[in-house]
């Protein structure tokens, strides 16, 4: 039986990121008089973000040792919260000059660049399998005769 994308957390994360990138490209390319298209794309950004974020949290929970999970999740949360005002401070004036469409286009392109980097980087691609020493041990256990 084949696995669903929800059983492979990394794949779920990639699909969420790809959908979010596509949504931002749609928002960047939408004509300014097509507000309904912008709203529909924004509606899809929610599930895309949830897919990506939930899958990443599940991977971190499964791979980060329990004794440091609190620190890792706290650091991740702090970094995300710090980026919001920083992003507004930088991109607010840019949006005043260029409008928001170029920002959405750059964000969509950045999502696909990150996605490509994740897929092409073996240590990231195999992240949910744990550290290499754990993967090697599991593969030896699977092939050892009983």
Which residues, 6 or more positions from 131, have their beta carbon under 8 angstroms from its beta carbon? 63
Quote the CA–CA distance of 28 and 20 in Å, as a whole number.
12
Per-residue confidence band for 134, with pLDDT thresholds at 50, 70 and 90 = low
Give the pTM: 0.79
Of 126, 145, 146, residue with least CA distance to 136: 126
Distance CA 54, CA 39 (A): 23
Instruction: Using pLDDT thresholds of 50, 70 and 90, give the confidence band for residue 139.
Output: very low
Question: Of 120, 90, 119, 122, nearest to 106 (Cα)?
Answer: 90
- Tell me: the pLDDT tens digits for 79-97? 999 999 999 999 999 999 9
The pLDDT tens digits of the residues spanning 22-72 come to 999 999 999 989 999 999 999 999 999 999 999 999 988 888 899 999 999
């Amino acid at each position: 039986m084949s696995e669903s994308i929800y059983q492979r957390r990394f794949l779920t994360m990639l699909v969420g990121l790809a959908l979010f990138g596509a949504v931002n490209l749609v928002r960047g390319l939408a004509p300014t008089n097509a507000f309904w298209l912008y709203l529909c794309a924004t509606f899809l950004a929610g599930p895309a973000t949830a897919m990506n974020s939930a899958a990443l949290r599940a991977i971190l929970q499964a791979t980060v040792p329990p004794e440091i999970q609190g620190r890792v999740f706290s650091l991740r949360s702090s970094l995300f919260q710090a980026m919001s005002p920083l992003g507004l401070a930088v991109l607010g004036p840019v949006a005043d000059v260029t409008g928001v469409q170029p920002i959405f286009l750059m964000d969509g392109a950045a999502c696909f660049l990150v996605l490509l980097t994740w897929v092409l980087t073996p240590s990231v691609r195999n992240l949910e399998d744990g550290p290499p020493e754990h993967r090697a041990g599991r593969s030896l256990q699977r092939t050892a005769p009983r």
